[in-house]
């Protein structure tokens, strides 16, 4: 990797953050929250959401047990998650997609009044939750529920820009812990730290989160320890840079050596080798004492191009004089970076040109001949905090590049261009692969998503189609999923979720393919890369595409068939105790929202949440279908209440019939003060088919009976789909099942009642 390319790559990472740091906090402010009791959580999927069925707006249905087979508990899904919403100013919101639709000329006019200031965050689109901010607990609760229902095991926070966003992760930890303790499946959490300089962020997270035992029940563990995505070789206060350096190649029989004196004991050294983009390079390292005796030797260390690597000592080396010798090991081209010096006394010039704390440069040689350079070494003074950190975490460094592939073992991808590489653990097993919705890459290099040649959502078969041929089917996403599913790693890292904003740059920005108005990581509906549902456009198509592929990867639990049993509708409910299967819903999910939104004066308030569904059951006999539902608390509301408790039935299991697939609605009839069943057609009820049904309500339970002939389910073994709602306009937009009241099951999902496993 060239030095110029490395600089540009680093600037792109800075682009992830939008703007330089606006705040920084290392303070311990958790008081009594410091050490909550550890909760080991709940079984993988207590609500069995993997059995729920759904059909999206593109008529794509989720796969079932019969299609993908049984669950595989040794498979995991990670998802990139962003904490910065509302953390970089209140200007806007500026919706890039809307701006371009209304003013297409603005894409080439950086001075257009449509745009916010340079560096200011702009939204590529609008979430179904609006322009929300990171501390909105109602949205955090929905994220936990939606990602948990999908089968995501861990969300990885983007803290690559040297900010940890405690104002966002603190409420998220709290909400996720609360939901888990209520018996819900929610993802665990981990942090993805800066690629080349992780030391500040890792230590800050250690001091503020992990050493404080801050909500440990939501930490994700990998290989027995909490996971952190950071390179342990770079945990040092003396991280070096190759700026103003030049590469020295190691020949087969050659040796490069650097002599130095340390005033303190050191427990490691870190080196950096160029490989000129070769991927099979290795070095051997020897450490000599002042007498020339070899005191440590490491053979055939595999190195990546410009990927620092560390030599850890079993016991710290005492203060003294040492020499590091580097030789080429069997493999491809390799070298050592050197800082070229001006003429003069070596020690004086070297220590002035390339100062290192507590270290003095004494001499450098190439094949025994003195050279006027300093070969780059970073020294690690013994550091108890660092030792504690190294012992506490499972480290997985992230590869920032989309094309290079792994440069060391135990490295993970967060995003790559197709075909993605396989990332191996130290046992040689394929541990991880990345899958992305889109990539900010232009002409085979990292670039800006505002360039029409970048890899958008419709990119596939090596090309981005013309705008008229772009659609919402997720061709890029699916092509990457097919590659990952074929390889079948242990964990798949998905990019991503809730990455709604990007900072504005201009054509002078140092990014490949920069445009007059440049956005690096997000741009518009086509050139963006997250799966969270949006208002309009692709709506929730990417969310269900995500779920579909997670099921193909992780499998589906086997449904339990129902059996016939007559029920007395008497409000006693004893005859339901032995009825199975049980259908569960997320606990404590009715919508109660009151939080600021993005920008000045914006606030989101929604108090439509009322009854909290927790459990449903179904039974049948020759004459009737019987339904039971239990709420968390005593039933609220009555027959005069707006959008009160309703039961939606899809009896033909066809999402194209009725209204959004619903063939019948069981709902309150205010006039008779009872429940009635009515046929549904698109946007309305067929009131000529309405008829009252038997029901009983007592405390937090409700039961009702529906004549089978009223549903046309006269066959001996009824199979159908059903859904309970409260506080939701069932004829409204699909998003109401996510943003309002409570639905059981959540969102577009339905329970599927089967009387056989087929």
State the residue for tokens 């890029």: 476
55-76 per-position pLDDT tens digit? 999 999 999 999 999 999 999 9
Do 159 and 189 form a contact (C-beta atoms < 8 A)?
no
Q: Characterise 519 by phi-psi region: left (phi > 0), alpha (psi -120 to 50), beta (else).
A: beta
State the residue for tokens 């009976």: 705
Q: What is the DSSP string of 611-643?
A: --EEEEEEEE-SSEEEEEEEESSSPP--TTSTT
Strands 225-228 and 394-395 come out as: parallel
448-507 per-position pLDDT tens digit? 999 999 999 999 999 999 999 999 999 999 999 999 999 999 999 999 999 999 999 999
Nearest Cα neighbor of 413 from 427, 431, 428, 429 is 431
Q: What is the DSSP string of 411-445?
A: -EES--PSSPPPEE-TTS-EEEEEEES-EEEETTE
Please state at what angle helix 541-554 crosses helix 137-150, rounded to 10 degrees: 40
3-234+388-554 classified as CATH 3.20.20: yes
pLDDT at residue 756, as a whole number: 73
Do 502 and 522 form a contact (C-beta atoms < 8 A)?
yes
**Six-digit token pair at 52?**
């729920």
Nearest Cα neighbor of 242 from 263, 262, 270 is 270
Distance CA 624, CA 709 (A): 8
Reduced to 3 states, what is the DSSP secondary structure of residue 741? coil
pLDDT at residue 689, as a whole number: 80
Looking at the chain, the whole-number percentage of residues with pLDDT higher than 90 is 81
**Fold matches, 3-234+388-554 and 245-382:** no
- Listed in order, strand segments (DSSP E) in 151-308 are 154-158, 188-192, 221-222, 225-228, 245-249, 255-262, 266-271, 281-288, 294-303
List, for the chain, all residue ranges whose pLDDT scores fall below the cut of 70: 1-45, 237-240, 757-758
Please state at what angle helix 166-181 crosses helix 137-150, rounded to 10 degrees: 60
pLDDT at residue 714, as a whole number: 84
Nearest Cα neighbor of 747 from 51, 45, 55 is 55
Reduced to 3 states, what is the DSSP secondary structure of residue 463? strand
Distance CA 315, CA 713 (A): 76
**Six-digit token pair at 229?**
């995505």
609-634 per-position pLDDT tens digit? 999 999 999 999 999 999 999 999 99
Do 435 and 484 form a contact (C-beta atoms < 8 A)?
yes
Q: What is the DSSP letter of 408?
A: S
| Spans of all domains in the chain | 3-234+388-554, 245-382, 574-753
Q: Which residues pair with 322 in a beta bridge?
A: 260
Distance CA 198, CA 192 (A): 9
Of the CA atoms within 13 Å of residue 310, those in its CB half-sphere come to 19
Distance CA 99, CA 450 (A): 14
Measured at the CA of 129, the angle between CA 684 and CA 141, to 5 degrees, comes to 105
**Six-digit token pair at 51?**
């059995």
Question: Domain 245-382 in CATH: superfamily?
Answer: PHR domain (2.60.120.820)
Helix and strand numbers (H, E) in the chain are 12, 43
pLDDT at residue 553, as a whole number: 98
Of the CA atoms within 13 Å of residue 677, those in its CB half-sphere come to 21
> Which sign, positive or negative, has the C-alpha torsion 158, 456, 152, 750?
positive
Buried b (16+ CB within 10 A) or exposed e, 665-680: bbbbeeeeeebbbbbb
pLDDT at residue 243, as a whole number: 81
Distance CA 324, CA 335 (A): 14
């Amino acid at each position: 990797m060239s030095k110029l390319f490395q600089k540009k790559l680093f600037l792109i990472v800075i682009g992830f953050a939008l703007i330089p740091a606006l705040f920084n906090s290392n303070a311990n402010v958790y008081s009594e929250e410091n050490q909550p009791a550890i909760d080991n959580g709940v079984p993988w999927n207590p609500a069995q959401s993997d059995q729920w069925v759904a059909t999206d707006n593109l008529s794509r249905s989720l796969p079932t047990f019969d299609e993908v087979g049984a669950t595989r508990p040794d498979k995991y899904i990670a998802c990139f998650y962003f904490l910065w919403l509302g953390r970089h100013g209140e200007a806007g919101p500026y919706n890039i997609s809307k701006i371009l639709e209304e003013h297409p000329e603005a894409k080439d006019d950086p001075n257009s009044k449509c745009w916010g200031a340079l560096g200011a965050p702009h939204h590529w689109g609008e979430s179904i939750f609006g322009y929300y901010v990171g501390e909105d607990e109602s949205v955090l609760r929905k994220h936990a529920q939606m990602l948990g229902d999908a089968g995501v095991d861990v969300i990885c926070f983007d803290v690559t820009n040297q900010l940890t966003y405690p104002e966002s992760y603190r409420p998220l930890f709290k909400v996720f812990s609360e939901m888990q303790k209520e018996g819900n499946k929610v993802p665990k959490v981990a942090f993805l730290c800066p690629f080349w300089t992780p030391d500040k962020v890792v230590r800050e997270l250690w001091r503020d989160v992990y050493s404080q035992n801050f909500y440990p029940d939501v930490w994700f563990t990998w290989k027995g320890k909490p996971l952190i995505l950071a390179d342990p070789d770079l945990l040092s206060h003396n991280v070096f840079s190759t700026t103003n350096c030049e590469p020295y190649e190691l020949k087969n029989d050659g040796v490069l050596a650097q002599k130095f004196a340390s005033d303190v004991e050191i427990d490691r050294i870190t080196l950096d080798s160029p490989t000129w983009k070769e991927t099979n390079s290795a070095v051997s390292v020897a450490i000599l004492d002042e007498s020339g005796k070899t005191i440590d030797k490491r053979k055939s260390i595999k190195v990546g191009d410009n990927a620092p690597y560390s030599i850890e000592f079993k016991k710290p080396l005492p203060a003294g004089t040492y020499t590091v010798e580097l030789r080429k090991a069997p493999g491809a081209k390799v070298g050592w970076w050197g800082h070229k010096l001006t003429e003069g006394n070596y020690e004086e010039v070297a220590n002035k040109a390339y100062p290192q704390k507590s270290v003095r440069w004494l001499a450098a040689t190439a094949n025994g001949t003195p050279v006027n350079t300093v070969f780059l070494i970073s020294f690690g003074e013994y550091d108890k905090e660092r030792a504690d950190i190294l012992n506490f975490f499972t480290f997985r460094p992230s590869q920032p590049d989309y094309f290079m592939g792994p440069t060391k073992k135990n490295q993970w991808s967060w995003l790559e261009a197709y075909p993605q590489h396989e990332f191996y653990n130290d046992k040689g097993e394929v541990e991880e692969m990345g899958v992305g919705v889109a990539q900010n890459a232009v002409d085979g290099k990292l670039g800006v998503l505002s360039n029409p040649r970048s890899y958008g959502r419709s990119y596939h078969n090596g090309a981005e189609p013309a705008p008229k041929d772009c659609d919402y089917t997720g061709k890029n996403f699916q092509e990457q999923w097919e590659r990952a599913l074929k390889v079948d790693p242990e964990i798949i890292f998905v990019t991503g979720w809730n990455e709604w904003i990007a900072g504005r740059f201009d054509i002078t920005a140092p990014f490949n393919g920069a445009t007059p108005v440049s956005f690096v990581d997000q741009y518009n509906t086509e050139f963006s890369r997250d799966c969270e549902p949006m208002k309009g456009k692709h709506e929730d198509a990417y969310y269900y595409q995500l779920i579909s592929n997670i099921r193909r990867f992780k499998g589906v639990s086997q449904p339990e068939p129902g059996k016939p049993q007559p029920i007395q509708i008497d409000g006693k409910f004893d005859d339901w105790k032995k009825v199975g299967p049980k259908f569960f819903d997320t606990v404590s999910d009715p919508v109660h929202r009151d939080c600021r939104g993005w920008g000045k004066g914006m606030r989101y308030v929604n108090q439509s949440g009322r009854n909290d569904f927790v459990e449903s059951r179904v039974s049948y006999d020759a004459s009737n279908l019987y339904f039971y539902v239990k709420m968390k608390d005593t039933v609220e509301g009555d027959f005069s209440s707006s959008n009160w408790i309703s039961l939606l039935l899809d009896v033909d299991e066809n999402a194209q019939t009725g209204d959004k697939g619903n063939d019948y609605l069981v709902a309150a009839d205010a006039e008779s003060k009872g429940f009635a069943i009515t046929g549904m057609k698109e946007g309305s009820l067929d009131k000529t088919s309405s008829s009252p049904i038997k029901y009983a309500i007592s405390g937090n339970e409700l039961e009702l009976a529906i004549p089978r002939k009223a549903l046309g389910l006269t066959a001996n073994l009824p199979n159908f789909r059903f859904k309970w709602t409260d506080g939701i306009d069932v004829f409204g937009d699909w998003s109401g099942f996510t943003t309002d009241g409570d639905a059981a099951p959540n969102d577009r999902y339905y329970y599927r009642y089967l009387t056989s496993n087929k």
